[in-house]
Amino acid sequence: MKDKRPAHTGMTDKGNIRDVKVERVGKVTILRRGNTYYLYYRQNKRTERPKIEGNLTVARATAAKVAAALAEERPSPLGFERTSPQDMATAFLDYIENVKGLAWRTVDRYRAALDRFLDYCPEANIKTVDAFSESNVENFVRWLRGQTRVRNGAEKGTREHYKVGGIRFILCTCRTAYNWAGRKKRMLPPYAENPFRAFPIEQLRDDGADEELHVFTAAQEKAFWGACSPWQRQVFLPLATYGMRVGELTHLLIENVDFEESSISICSKPEMYWHVKTRRRRKVPLTVSMRALLKKLIGERKAGFVFLNEPFHRGERTPVMTFATDKAFRAHLTELIGKLLADTPEATKPQQRKAVVHFCRQMGQIPTKRLQAEFSAITAKIGCPEFTRVHDLRHLFTTRAQEAGANPLVVQQIIGHTTLEMTNRYSHFGPESKKQVVDQAAPNVDSGDTTKVPAP
């Protein structure tokens, strides 16, 4: 008997758009809503309705693949596992730490960023990561602007609101986590867009705030070195001379200094649970002044840290052990962890790292936070409180090198950047540098009265 029901037109009696059944492929139904196609099927007692990015031909081909997977009782190629924000964050942090092997400080920064995401989700009633949309990102930003935290992850201190740079980092971390969850772990629908990718993160601004990064002027730099104590000068000088990262200086061992080759090797120290940020080993040449400084600091010592914490430098404390070579020192760290795991098999990596750091402190290693505190105290003393990070010396080196006309590729290799784009971001030219370039590029015209402009 012929079906007398009227064909669907795609519109209701009131003029609203409705779904139209196009055809059925196996257990999969192709629907059209307006100019967009969807598939309709059930799997694991759950209804799925993925959107198809394409025309009817694409919808038919996709439906055939899904129907074949359902017939063979395989997961649909469009399927995904709904995952809670907590489970996604835990899995992603495990991936970057144990698969990619990122430095523990970097992992901790990612963890702190995702903790804010996890704090927000319950307030927004987000129970699965696929329920987070671009509109949620906007609300997340509003929420972040109202939160406070202590700088540098300290447990105590003055709580301040997030600056735009901190908000950007949190959003970029979430964007990376969502990319990983969608592409590699199928925690998101394959047809869904990353909500953090659609949001213009780089365009975030602070109202009325000057986001221009600064470096010391010549006068400020002179005042900085003049305010340093002898110990402060010797630890900050290499940072400004080579643009080293703070961790690269505090983990520098005597074996990394080669006076015969006249170079310093900057490399990872797996035994200390520390890695160069880019995982790349590099060498920098010894200057005359740096060679003299390092010879004085090392003296007759055969192993240990080149730069010692101030009490050790003054002789008020001595390293807890002595070693004939740095190889023996690093081997002792491995034995230390072996003993810890023998006594406490369930010891986590943070606990293992804590044991190594404790021993290194007893060997005279300078805590990173100590250098940060010393730097901030000096800049406040000379009237430059806007300089709050030792990392500013890395920006200072890059800028000075570029101003001196150094080859950007050479600068990139010295400071250990992976791209020239990053090296460019570290270069901040002041008014004097810009004026010098303008003067050099000025057109060669006859001198005279330039106030008289000829009529057109």
Q: Which two tokens stand for residue 185?
A: 């772990």
pLDDT at 275 over 70: yes
Are the beta carbons of 416 and 407 closer than 8 angstroms? no
Statement to judge: residues 184 and 252 lie in one domain: no
Instruction: Region of 116 please: left (phi>0), alpha (psi -120 to 50) or beta.
Output: alpha
Q: What does the pLDDT average to over 325-336? A: 96
What is the pTM (predicted TM-score) of this model? Answer: 0.69
Statement to judge: residues 258 and 194 lie in one domain: no
Are the beta carbons of 263 and 285 closer than 8 angstroms? yes
Statement to judge: residues 100 and 174 lie in one domain: yes
Q: What does the pLDDT average to over 232-253? A: 95
Helices 368-381 and 230-242, axial angle in degrees (round to 10):
100
pLDDT at 75 over 90: no
3-state helix, strand, coil in the chain (%, to 5): 50, 10, 40
pLDDT at 456 over 50: no
Give me the amino acid identity at 215. Answer: V
Statement to judge: residues 191 and 236 lie in one domain: no
**Nearest residue to 289 (alpha-carbon basis) of 270, 311, 308, 262:** 262
pLDDT tens-digit profile of 92-143? 999 998 888 887 888 889 999 999 999 999 999 999 998 898 889 999 999 9
Residue 451: partners with Cβ closer than 8 Å, 6 or more residues away: none
For tokens 């060498």, what's the residue? 283
pLDDT at 133: 86
pLDDT at 98: 86
pLDDT at 233: 95
Statement to judge: residues 225 and 333 lie in one domain: yes
Half-sphere exposure of 58 (CA within 13 A, CB side): 10
Domain termination residue (choose one: 203, 226, 245)? 203
Are the beta carbons of 257 and 285 closer than 8 angstroms? no
Asked whether residue 443 is assigned to any structural domain, the reply reads no
User: How far is it, in rounded angstroms, from Cα 133 to Cα 121?
Assistant: 12
**Nearest residue to 34 (alpha-carbon basis) of 58, 14, 8, 1:** 8
Are the beta carbons of 95 and 180 closer than 8 angstroms? yes
If you average pLDDT over every residue of the chain, what do you get? Answer: 85
Q: Tell me which of 9-23, 161-175, 300-314, 423-437 is least confident.
A: 423-437
pLDDT band for position 246 (50/70/90)? Answer: very high
Statement to judge: residues 109 and 195 lie in one domain: yes
Helices 392-403 and 408-415, axial angle in degrees (round to 10):
160
Asked whether residue 401 is assigned to any structural domain, the reply reads no
Asked whether residue 328 is assigned to any structural domain, the reply reads yes
Give me the amino acid identity at 70. Answer: L
Cα radius of gyration (the chain): 30
User: What are the DSSP calls for 345-383, one per residue?
Assistant: TT--HHHHHHHHHHHHHHTTBPPHHHHHHHHHHHHHHTT
Asked whether residue 45 is assigned to any structural domain, the reply reads yes
Residue 13: partners with Cβ closer than 8 Å, 6 or more residues away: none
Share of the chain above pLDDT 70, in %: 84
| Segment of 18-32, 197-211, 227-241, 275-289 carrying the highest mean pLDDT | 227-241
Q: What does the pLDDT average to over 154-174? A: 82
User: How far is it, in rounded angstroms, from Cα 449 to Cα 306?
Assistant: 62
Handedness of CA 137, 141, 143, 148 (dihedral sign): positive
Statement to judge: residues 111 and 190 lie in one domain: yes
Are the beta carbons of 210 and 273 closer than 8 angstroms? no
What are 365's strand-pairing partners?
308
Domain termination residue (choose one: 327, 359, 381)? 381
Statement to judge: residues 37 and 105 lie in one domain: no
CATH (domain of 197): 1.10.150.130
For tokens 């010396």, what's the residue? 393
Asked whether residue 290 is assigned to any structural domain, the reply reads yes
CA 392 to chain centre: 17
Asked whether residue 395 is assigned to any structural domain, the reply reads no
- Domains: count for the chain: 3
Residue 153: partners with Cβ closer than 8 Å, 6 or more residues away: 108, 112
User: How far is it, in rounded angstroms, from Cα 335 to Cα 342?
Assistant: 10
Statement to judge: residues 148 and 186 lie in one domain: yes
pLDDT at 3: 45
Q: What does the pLDDT average to over 333-353? A: 93
Asked whether residue 304 is assigned to any structural domain, the reply reads yes
Residue 159: partners with Cβ closer than 8 Å, 6 or more residues away: 148, 149, 150
pLDDT band for position 2 (50/70/90)? Answer: very low
Q: What does the pLDDT average to over 152-173? A: 79
Are the beta carbons of 83 and 181 closer than 8 angstroms? yes
For tokens 């964050």, what's the residue? 89
pLDDT at 4 over 50: no
Statement to judge: residues 369 and 259 lie in one domain: yes
User: How far is it, in rounded angstroms, from Cα 377 to Cα 371?
Assistant: 10
pLDDT at 446: 56
pLDDT at 448: 52
Asked whether residue 400 is assigned to any structural domain, the reply reads no
Question: Domain range for residue 42?
Answer: 19-71
pLDDT at 447 over 80: no
Domain termination residue (choose one: 343, 363, 381)? 381
Statement to judge: residues 168 and 267 lie in one domain: no
pLDDT tens-digit profile of 385-421? 888 889 889 988 888 888 888 888 888 899 888 887 8
Q: Tell me which of 2-16, 214-228, 304-318 is least confident.
A: 2-16
For tokens 């001379």, what's the residue? 241
pLDDT at 401: 86
Statement to judge: residues 370 and 229 lie in one domain: yes
